[in-house]
Amino acid sequence: MQKVQKKKILILGVTVIVASLALIPARVFVRAQVSGNTTVEELNRTIEQREAERKQLQQKQEEYAAKVAEKQKVAASLHGELELLDAQMQKAEADMQTIDFAVEDKQREITATQLQIESTEKDMQTKRAYLGELVRTIHRYDQKDPLELLVIHNSFSDVVNDLRTTTTMERQVTDTLTDLKGVKVNLERERQDREVRKRELENLEKELLATQTSLNDQKTYKGTLLDETKSSEQQYANLLDQSRQEQLSADSDIRQLQEQVKAKLEPNGQGSDDGLTKFTGNRNVQLAWPVSPAKGISAYFHDPSYPYRKYFEHPAIDVPTPQRTPIAAPDDGYVARAKNAGFGYSYILLVHSNSISTVYGHVSQINVAEDTFVKKGQIIGLSGGMPGTPGAGNMTTGPHLHFEVRLNGIPVNPLDYLP
Protein backbone atom coordinates (compact mmCIF):
# COMPACT_ATOMS: atom_id res chain seq x y z
CA MET A 1 0.00 0.00 0.00
CA GLN A 2 2.84 2.39 0.93
CA LYS A 3 4.63 1.59 -2.34
CA VAL A 4 1.47 2.38 -4.36
CA GLN A 5 1.11 5.69 -2.53
CA LYS A 6 4.73 6.62 -3.36
CA LYS A 7 4.07 5.87 -7.03
CA LYS A 8 1.01 8.12 -7.01
CA ILE A 9 3.01 10.94 -5.42
CA LEU A 10 5.77 10.43 -7.99
CA ILE A 11 3.28 10.53 -10.87
CA LEU A 12 1.62 13.68 -9.47
CA GLY A 13 5.01 15.40 -9.00
CA VAL A 14 6.17 14.54 -12.49
CA THR A 15 2.88 15.76 -13.96
CA VAL A 16 3.26 19.14 -12.19
CA ILE A 17 6.85 19.51 -13.38
CA VAL A 18 5.95 18.64 -16.96
CA ALA A 19 3.13 21.18 -16.85
CA SER A 20 5.44 23.88 -15.50
CA LEU A 21 8.02 23.16 -18.20
CA ALA A 22 5.30 23.55 -20.81
CA LEU A 23 4.83 27.17 -19.69
CA ILE A 24 8.30 28.20 -20.91
CA PRO A 25 7.74 31.05 -23.42
CA ALA A 26 8.16 30.49 -27.12
CA ARG A 27 11.06 31.89 -29.15
CA VAL A 28 11.60 35.63 -29.45
CA PHE A 29 12.06 37.40 -32.78
CA VAL A 30 15.70 38.14 -33.63
CA ARG A 31 16.77 40.93 -35.98
CA ALA A 32 19.61 39.11 -37.72
CA GLN A 33 18.53 37.28 -40.84
CA VAL A 34 20.17 34.07 -42.07
CA SER A 35 19.24 31.35 -44.53
CA GLY A 36 17.13 28.48 -43.32
CA ASN A 37 20.03 26.02 -43.65
CA THR A 38 22.51 28.06 -41.57
CA THR A 39 23.79 26.29 -38.47
CA VAL A 40 25.29 27.51 -35.22
CA GLU A 41 28.65 26.01 -36.20
CA GLU A 42 28.63 27.83 -39.55
CA LEU A 43 27.84 31.17 -37.90
CA ASN A 44 30.58 30.78 -35.30
CA ARG A 45 33.04 29.72 -38.03
CA THR A 46 32.20 32.85 -40.05
CA ILE A 47 32.83 35.07 -37.02
CA GLU A 48 36.22 33.42 -36.42
CA GLN A 49 37.22 33.69 -40.09
CA ARG A 50 36.59 37.45 -40.03
CA GLU A 51 39.28 37.99 -37.38
CA ALA A 52 41.93 38.94 -39.95
CA GLU A 53 39.62 41.49 -41.56
CA ARG A 54 38.83 42.92 -38.13
CA LYS A 55 42.53 43.40 -37.39
CA GLN A 56 43.01 45.22 -40.71
CA LEU A 57 40.23 47.65 -39.83
CA GLN A 58 41.74 48.26 -36.39
CA GLN A 59 45.12 48.93 -37.97
CA LYS A 60 43.52 51.45 -40.33
CA GLN A 61 41.89 53.18 -37.35
CA GLU A 62 45.22 53.45 -35.55
CA GLU A 63 46.93 54.87 -38.64
CA TYR A 64 44.31 57.59 -39.04
CA ALA A 65 44.37 58.37 -35.31
CA ALA A 66 48.14 58.88 -35.54
CA LYS A 67 47.63 61.09 -38.58
CA VAL A 68 45.10 63.23 -36.70
CA ALA A 69 47.49 63.55 -33.73
CA GLU A 70 50.27 64.65 -36.11
CA LYS A 71 48.11 67.30 -37.78
CA GLN A 72 46.98 68.65 -34.38
CA LYS A 73 50.58 69.56 -33.55
CA VAL A 74 50.90 71.84 -36.56
CA ALA A 75 50.55 75.59 -35.87
CA ALA A 76 47.12 76.97 -36.65
CA SER A 77 46.64 77.90 -40.29
CA LEU A 78 43.91 77.50 -42.85
CA HIS A 79 45.95 74.92 -44.74
CA GLY A 80 46.69 72.99 -41.53
CA GLU A 81 43.07 73.16 -40.39
CA LEU A 82 41.84 71.75 -43.69
CA GLU A 83 44.38 68.92 -43.55
CA LEU A 84 43.33 68.16 -39.97
CA LEU A 85 39.69 68.04 -41.03
CA ASP A 86 40.51 65.64 -43.86
CA ALA A 87 42.40 63.38 -41.43
CA GLN A 88 39.53 63.50 -38.94
CA MET A 89 37.02 62.59 -41.64
CA GLN A 90 39.18 59.67 -42.80
CA LYS A 91 39.36 58.43 -39.23
CA ALA A 92 35.58 58.82 -38.82
CA GLU A 93 35.00 56.74 -41.95
CA ALA A 94 37.38 54.05 -40.64
CA ASP A 95 35.56 54.14 -37.30
CA MET A 96 32.25 53.63 -39.08
CA GLN A 97 33.62 50.63 -41.00
CA THR A 98 34.85 49.07 -37.77
CA ILE A 99 31.55 49.64 -35.97
CA ASP A 100 29.55 48.36 -38.93
CA PHE A 101 31.75 45.25 -38.96
CA ALA A 102 31.08 44.74 -35.23
CA VAL A 103 27.34 45.18 -35.83
CA GLU A 104 27.33 42.39 -38.42
CA ASP A 105 29.21 40.04 -36.10
CA LYS A 106 26.91 40.86 -33.21
CA GLN A 107 23.90 40.05 -35.40
CA ARG A 108 25.48 36.68 -36.22
CA GLU A 109 26.11 36.01 -32.53
CA ILE A 110 22.47 36.76 -31.74
CA THR A 111 21.30 34.47 -34.53
CA ALA A 112 23.62 31.68 -33.37
CA THR A 113 22.28 32.02 -29.85
CA GLN A 114 18.70 31.98 -31.16
CA LEU A 115 19.36 28.78 -33.12
CA GLN A 116 20.83 27.21 -30.01
CA ILE A 117 17.74 28.24 -28.06
CA GLU A 118 15.48 26.64 -30.66
CA SER A 119 17.54 23.44 -30.51
CA THR A 120 17.31 23.41 -26.72
CA GLU A 121 13.55 23.98 -26.87
CA LYS A 122 13.16 21.00 -29.20
CA ASP A 123 15.26 18.88 -26.84
CA MET A 124 12.97 19.90 -23.99
CA GLN A 125 9.87 19.01 -25.97
CA THR A 126 11.31 15.55 -26.79
CA LYS A 127 12.23 14.86 -23.18
CA ARG A 128 8.88 16.20 -21.97
CA ALA A 129 7.00 13.88 -24.36
CA TYR A 130 9.14 10.92 -23.29
CA LEU A 131 8.54 11.74 -19.64
CA GLY A 132 4.81 11.99 -20.21
CA GLU A 133 4.73 8.55 -21.85
CA LEU A 134 6.66 7.07 -18.92
CA VAL A 135 4.17 8.55 -16.47
CA ARG A 136 1.22 7.14 -18.40
CA THR A 137 2.81 3.67 -18.60
CA ILE A 138 3.60 3.61 -14.88
CA HIS A 139 0.06 4.75 -14.14
CA ARG A 140 -1.38 1.86 -16.19
CA TYR A 141 0.73 -0.67 -14.29
CA ASP A 142 -0.24 0.97 -11.03
CA GLN A 143 -3.94 0.38 -11.74
CA LYS A 144 -3.47 -3.42 -11.88
CA ASP A 145 -3.57 -5.53 -8.72
CA PRO A 146 -1.36 -8.65 -8.21
CA LEU A 147 -4.27 -11.08 -8.94
CA GLU A 148 -4.93 -9.44 -12.32
CA LEU A 149 -1.23 -9.68 -13.17
CA LEU A 150 -1.26 -13.42 -12.43
CA VAL A 151 -4.32 -13.93 -14.63
CA ILE A 152 -2.97 -12.10 -17.69
CA HIS A 153 0.53 -13.63 -17.53
CA ASN A 154 1.50 -17.22 -18.31
CA SER A 155 3.94 -17.53 -15.44
CA PHE A 156 5.04 -15.92 -12.20
CA SER A 157 8.38 -14.96 -13.81
CA ASP A 158 6.46 -12.78 -16.31
CA VAL A 159 4.84 -10.98 -13.37
CA VAL A 160 8.27 -10.39 -11.80
CA ASN A 161 9.59 -9.04 -15.11
CA ASP A 162 6.67 -6.61 -15.33
CA LEU A 163 7.40 -5.36 -11.82
CA ARG A 164 11.07 -4.96 -12.72
CA THR A 165 10.08 -2.99 -15.82
CA THR A 166 8.02 -0.65 -13.64
CA THR A 167 11.02 -0.10 -11.35
CA THR A 168 13.26 0.64 -14.36
CA MET A 169 10.74 3.14 -15.68
CA GLU A 170 10.65 4.89 -12.31
CA ARG A 171 14.42 5.31 -12.47
CA GLN A 172 14.11 6.62 -16.03
CA VAL A 173 11.56 9.16 -14.79
CA THR A 174 14.05 10.38 -12.17
CA ASP A 175 16.89 10.56 -14.71
CA THR A 176 14.76 12.34 -17.29
CA LEU A 177 13.59 14.89 -14.72
CA THR A 178 17.23 15.61 -13.85
CA ASP A 179 18.04 16.05 -17.55
CA LEU A 180 15.06 18.37 -18.02
CA LYS A 181 16.14 20.56 -15.13
CA GLY A 182 19.62 20.86 -16.65
CA VAL A 183 18.19 21.71 -20.08
CA LYS A 184 15.96 24.36 -18.52
CA VAL A 185 18.96 25.98 -16.80
CA ASN A 186 20.85 26.02 -20.12
CA LEU A 187 17.85 27.50 -21.88
CA GLU A 188 17.54 30.36 -19.41
CA ARG A 189 21.28 31.05 -19.66
CA GLU A 190 21.08 31.11 -23.47
CA ARG A 191 18.15 33.53 -23.35
CA GLN A 192 20.01 35.84 -20.98
CA ASP A 193 23.04 35.68 -23.26
CA ARG A 194 20.86 36.63 -26.22
CA GLU A 195 19.45 39.66 -24.37
CA VAL A 196 22.96 40.83 -23.44
CA ARG A 197 24.03 40.61 -27.09
CA LYS A 198 20.92 42.48 -28.22
CA ARG A 199 21.74 45.34 -25.83
CA GLU A 200 25.32 45.36 -27.11
CA LEU A 201 23.98 45.54 -30.67
CA GLU A 202 21.77 48.52 -29.77
CA ASN A 203 24.77 50.33 -28.26
CA LEU A 204 26.85 49.65 -31.38
CA GLU A 205 24.10 51.02 -33.62
CA LYS A 206 23.90 54.17 -31.46
CA GLU A 207 27.67 54.57 -31.71
CA LEU A 208 27.48 54.11 -35.48
CA LEU A 209 24.81 56.81 -35.74
CA ALA A 210 26.84 59.20 -33.55
CA THR A 211 29.96 58.63 -35.67
CA GLN A 212 27.99 59.23 -38.86
CA THR A 213 26.63 62.46 -37.36
CA SER A 214 30.15 63.54 -36.40
CA LEU A 215 31.40 62.86 -39.93
CA ASN A 216 28.57 64.93 -41.42
CA ASP A 217 29.34 67.75 -38.98
CA GLN A 218 33.02 67.74 -39.98
CA LYS A 219 32.06 67.96 -43.65
CA THR A 220 29.74 70.87 -42.83
CA TYR A 221 32.49 72.63 -40.88
CA LYS A 222 34.94 72.25 -43.75
CA GLY A 223 32.42 73.78 -46.14
CA THR A 224 31.68 76.64 -43.73
CA LEU A 225 35.38 77.29 -43.15
CA LEU A 226 36.10 77.49 -46.87
CA ASP A 227 33.09 79.75 -47.37
CA GLU A 228 34.02 82.14 -44.55
CA THR A 229 37.71 82.40 -45.38
CA LYS A 230 37.42 82.33 -49.18
CA SER A 231 40.58 80.21 -48.97
CA SER A 232 42.42 83.21 -47.53
CA GLU A 233 45.00 82.70 -44.78
CA GLN A 234 44.49 86.33 -43.73
CA GLN A 235 40.76 85.87 -43.33
CA TYR A 236 41.45 82.71 -41.34
CA ALA A 237 43.77 84.70 -39.05
CA ASN A 238 41.03 87.33 -38.60
CA LEU A 239 38.56 84.64 -37.54
CA LEU A 240 41.10 83.29 -35.08
CA ASP A 241 41.57 86.75 -33.61
CA GLN A 242 37.80 87.13 -33.19
CA SER A 243 37.67 83.77 -31.44
CA ARG A 244 40.52 84.85 -29.16
CA GLN A 245 38.63 88.02 -28.24
CA GLU A 246 35.52 85.97 -27.46
CA GLN A 247 37.51 83.72 -25.13
CA LEU A 248 39.27 86.61 -23.37
CA SER A 249 35.96 88.42 -22.85
CA ALA A 250 34.30 85.30 -21.45
CA ASP A 251 37.29 84.61 -19.17
CA SER A 252 37.25 88.13 -17.75
CA ASP A 253 33.49 88.00 -17.23
CA ILE A 254 33.71 84.62 -15.45
CA ARG A 255 36.49 85.77 -13.09
CA GLN A 256 34.52 88.85 -12.04
CA LEU A 257 31.31 86.89 -11.60
CA GLN A 258 33.05 84.33 -9.39
CA GLU A 259 34.03 87.08 -6.93
CA GLN A 260 30.64 88.78 -7.10
CA VAL A 261 28.76 85.55 -6.43
CA LYS A 262 31.06 84.68 -3.55
CA ALA A 263 30.47 88.08 -1.95
CA LYS A 264 26.72 87.83 -2.57
CA LEU A 265 26.09 84.29 -1.40
CA GLU A 266 28.94 83.63 1.02
CA PRO A 267 29.88 86.91 2.74
CA ASN A 268 33.21 86.72 4.56
CA GLY A 269 33.53 83.16 3.32
CA GLN A 270 31.18 81.98 6.09
CA GLY A 271 28.08 81.46 4.02
CA SER A 272 24.63 82.99 4.53
CA ASP A 273 21.49 81.25 5.74
CA ASP A 274 19.75 81.61 2.39
CA GLY A 275 22.79 81.36 0.14
CA LEU A 276 24.80 78.74 -1.69
CA THR A 277 25.98 76.91 1.43
CA LYS A 278 22.39 76.28 2.52
CA PHE A 279 21.50 74.98 -0.93
CA THR A 280 24.54 72.82 -1.67
CA GLY A 281 25.88 72.13 1.79
CA ASN A 282 29.40 72.84 3.00
CA ARG A 283 31.03 69.82 1.39
CA ASN A 284 33.55 68.80 -1.20
CA VAL A 285 32.25 69.03 -4.74
CA GLN A 286 31.71 65.64 -6.43
CA LEU A 287 31.19 66.36 -10.12
CA ALA A 288 29.44 64.03 -12.55
CA TRP A 289 29.96 64.14 -16.32
CA PRO A 290 27.62 66.79 -17.80
CA VAL A 291 27.48 64.77 -21.06
CA SER A 292 28.60 61.23 -21.80
CA PRO A 293 32.35 60.89 -22.51
CA ALA A 294 31.69 57.79 -24.64
CA LYS A 295 33.34 59.42 -27.68
CA GLY A 296 36.42 60.35 -25.68
CA ILE A 297 37.98 63.78 -25.33
CA SER A 298 39.00 65.77 -28.41
CA ALA A 299 41.03 68.44 -26.57
CA TYR A 300 42.49 68.27 -23.05
CA PHE A 301 43.16 70.94 -20.44
CA HIS A 302 46.14 73.05 -21.62
CA ASP A 303 46.50 70.55 -24.44
CA PRO A 304 49.93 70.93 -26.07
CA SER A 305 48.45 69.76 -29.39
CA TYR A 306 45.64 72.32 -29.31
CA PRO A 307 45.83 73.99 -32.76
CA TYR A 308 45.01 77.48 -31.43
CA ARG A 309 47.44 77.44 -28.51
CA LYS A 310 49.50 80.16 -30.18
CA TYR A 311 46.49 82.45 -29.70
CA PHE A 312 45.08 81.26 -26.35
CA GLU A 313 45.53 78.41 -23.89
CA HIS A 314 42.79 75.79 -23.80
CA PRO A 315 41.24 76.13 -20.30
CA ALA A 316 38.86 73.19 -20.59
CA ILE A 317 38.28 69.73 -21.96
CA ASP A 318 36.30 69.32 -25.17
CA VAL A 319 33.87 66.38 -25.07
CA PRO A 320 32.60 65.33 -28.54
CA THR A 321 28.84 64.93 -28.46
CA PRO A 322 26.05 65.31 -31.06
CA GLN A 323 24.56 68.76 -31.57
CA ARG A 324 21.81 69.58 -29.03
CA THR A 325 22.79 66.91 -26.50
CA PRO A 326 21.19 67.63 -23.07
CA ILE A 327 23.70 69.03 -20.56
CA ALA A 328 23.17 67.91 -16.96
CA ALA A 329 24.37 69.94 -13.98
CA PRO A 330 27.31 67.94 -12.54
CA ASP A 331 26.46 69.07 -8.99
CA ASP A 332 24.12 71.39 -7.09
CA GLY A 333 24.88 74.98 -7.96
CA TYR A 334 23.91 78.58 -8.59
CA VAL A 335 23.43 79.97 -12.12
CA ALA A 336 25.74 82.98 -12.18
CA ARG A 337 25.63 83.51 -15.94
CA ALA A 338 23.49 82.19 -18.79
CA LYS A 339 24.78 84.19 -21.74
CA ASN A 340 22.92 83.90 -25.01
CA ALA A 341 25.22 85.51 -27.60
CA GLY A 342 23.09 84.68 -30.61
CA PHE A 343 25.47 83.12 -33.12
CA GLY A 344 28.44 84.19 -30.99
CA TYR A 345 29.95 82.29 -28.06
CA SER A 346 27.14 81.32 -25.67
CA TYR A 347 27.92 79.78 -22.30
CA ILE A 348 26.56 78.91 -18.85
CA LEU A 349 28.41 79.46 -15.56
CA LEU A 350 27.46 77.49 -12.44
CA VAL A 351 28.95 78.26 -9.03
CA HIS A 352 29.20 75.36 -6.59
CA SER A 353 30.36 75.09 -2.99
CA ASN A 354 33.97 75.42 -1.83
CA SER A 355 34.87 78.06 -4.46
CA ILE A 356 34.32 75.64 -7.38
CA SER A 357 32.57 76.77 -10.56
CA THR A 358 31.91 75.10 -13.92
CA VAL A 359 31.54 76.57 -17.41
CA TYR A 360 29.72 75.09 -20.44
CA GLY A 361 30.69 76.63 -23.78
CA HIS A 362 29.21 76.66 -27.31
CA VAL A 363 25.73 75.91 -25.91
CA SER A 364 22.99 75.99 -28.55
CA GLN A 365 20.15 76.39 -26.04
CA ILE A 366 19.90 77.64 -22.45
CA ASN A 367 17.29 76.07 -20.14
CA VAL A 368 18.05 77.95 -16.91
CA ALA A 369 17.80 81.56 -15.74
CA GLU A 370 20.46 83.59 -13.99
CA ASP A 371 20.26 84.03 -10.21
CA THR A 372 18.55 80.64 -9.70
CA PHE A 373 19.67 77.37 -8.16
CA VAL A 374 19.91 74.00 -9.93
CA LYS A 375 20.13 70.48 -8.58
CA LYS A 376 22.61 67.83 -9.66
CA GLY A 377 21.41 66.09 -12.84
CA GLN A 378 19.06 68.92 -13.86
CA ILE A 379 19.20 69.76 -17.59
CA ILE A 380 20.65 73.27 -17.91
CA GLY A 381 20.88 73.49 -21.70
CA LEU A 382 21.79 71.79 -24.96
CA SER A 383 25.27 71.39 -26.44
CA GLY A 384 26.33 72.99 -29.69
CA GLY A 385 29.52 73.73 -31.55
CA MET A 386 28.40 73.12 -35.11
CA PRO A 387 29.76 76.07 -37.16
CA GLY A 388 27.17 78.64 -38.10
CA THR A 389 24.66 77.58 -35.43
CA PRO A 390 23.41 79.49 -32.35
CA GLY A 391 25.97 79.69 -29.56
CA ALA A 392 28.85 78.20 -31.56
CA GLY A 393 30.92 81.36 -31.91
CA ASN A 394 33.95 81.72 -34.15
CA MET A 395 36.32 78.91 -35.15
CA THR A 396 34.51 76.10 -33.40
CA THR A 397 35.72 72.69 -34.54
CA GLY A 398 32.35 70.91 -34.68
CA PRO A 399 29.77 69.63 -32.18
CA HIS A 400 31.21 69.22 -28.68
CA LEU A 401 30.86 70.51 -25.14
CA HIS A 402 33.55 72.92 -23.93
CA PHE A 403 33.67 72.08 -20.20
CA GLU A 404 35.68 74.10 -17.68
CA VAL A 405 36.21 73.68 -13.94
CA ARG A 406 37.49 76.69 -11.99
CA LEU A 407 38.83 77.06 -8.47
CA ASN A 408 38.49 80.64 -7.15
CA GLY A 409 37.95 81.72 -10.76
CA ILE A 410 41.17 80.08 -12.06
CA PRO A 411 40.82 77.24 -14.62
CA VAL A 412 41.92 73.82 -13.31
CA ASN A 413 41.95 70.41 -14.95
CA PRO A 414 38.33 69.09 -15.05
CA LEU A 415 39.57 65.48 -15.06
CA ASP A 416 40.79 65.97 -11.47
CA TYR A 417 37.16 66.47 -10.40
CA LEU A 418 35.40 63.86 -12.54
CA PRO A 419 34.89 60.16 -11.82
Q: Please say whether the beta carbons of 243 and 228 come within 8 A.
A: no
Contacts 24+ apart (CB under 8 A), 206-209: 207/99, 207/294, 208/96, 208/99, 208/100, 208/103
Whether the predicted pLDDT of 11 surpasses 50: no
- 211 to 10, 96, 207, 225: CA distances (angstroms): 61, 6, 6, 21
Mean pLDDT of 218-222: 78
Name the average pLDDT for the chain.
78
- pLDDT value at residue 286: 81
- Rounded Cα–Cα distance for residues 384 and 279 (Å): 29
pLDDT band at 146 (very low <50, low <70, confident <90, very high): low
Q: What is the pLDDT of residues 90-145, one digit of tens each?
A: 888 888 888 888 888 888 888 888 888 888 888 778 877 777 776 777 666 665 55
3-state secondary structure of 260: helix
pLDDT band at 13 (very low <50, low <70, confident <90, very high): very low
- Rounded Cα–Cα distance for residues 37 and 267 (Å): 77
Task: Choose between 366 and 175: higher pLDDT.
Answer: 366
Question: With left for phi above 0 and alpha for psi between -120 and 50, is residue 395 left, alpha or beta?
Answer: left
Q: Among residues of the chain, what percentage have pLDDT more than 70?
A: 77
Helix boundaries (H) for 357-409: none
Q: What is the pLDDT of residues 282-301, one digit of tens each?
A: 556 789 999 999 888 888 89
Task: Choose between 63 and 379: higher pLDDT.
Answer: 379
Lowest mean pLDDT, pick from 33-42, 168-177, 221-230, 379-388? 33-42
- Rounded Cα–Cα distance for residues 90 and 82 (Å): 12
- Domain chopping of the chain, boundaries: 2-226, 233-416
Neighbour-count burial of 85, counting CB atoms closer than 10 A to its CB (0-12 exposed, 13-18 middle, 19+ buried): buried
Cα 94-95-99 angle, rounded to 5 deg:
120
- pLDDT value at residue 295: 82
Task: Choose between 179 and 302: higher pLDDT.
Answer: 302
- pLDDT value at residue 34: 44
Task: Choose between 361 and 216: higher pLDDT.
Answer: 361
- pLDDT value at residue 207: 81
Q: What is the pLDDT of residues 180-199, one digit of tens each?
A: 777 778 778 888 888 888 88
pLDDT band at 21 (very low <50, low <70, confident <90, very high): very low
Q: Please say whether the beta carbons of 57 and 94 come within 8 A.
A: yes
Task: Note the maximum CA span of the chain.
Answer: 115
Whether the predicted pLDDT of 40 surpasses 90: no
Amino acid identity, position 214: S
Whether the predicted pLDDT of 258 surpasses 60: yes
pLDDT band at 391 (very low <50, low <70, confident <90, very high): very high
Task: Choose between 78 and 337: higher pLDDT.
Answer: 337
Q: Does domain 233-416 have CATH number 2.70.70.10?
A: yes
pLDDT band at 382 (very low <50, low <70, confident <90, very high): very high
- Rounded Cα–Cα distance for residues 294 and 273 (Å): 40
Among residues 300, 294, 350, which one has the least CA distance to residue 322? 294
How much is the pTM? 0.58
- pLDDT value at residue 33: 41
Whether the predicted pLDDT of 15 surpasses 50: no
Mean pLDDT of 13-17: 43
Whether the predicted pLDDT of 275 surpasses 60: no
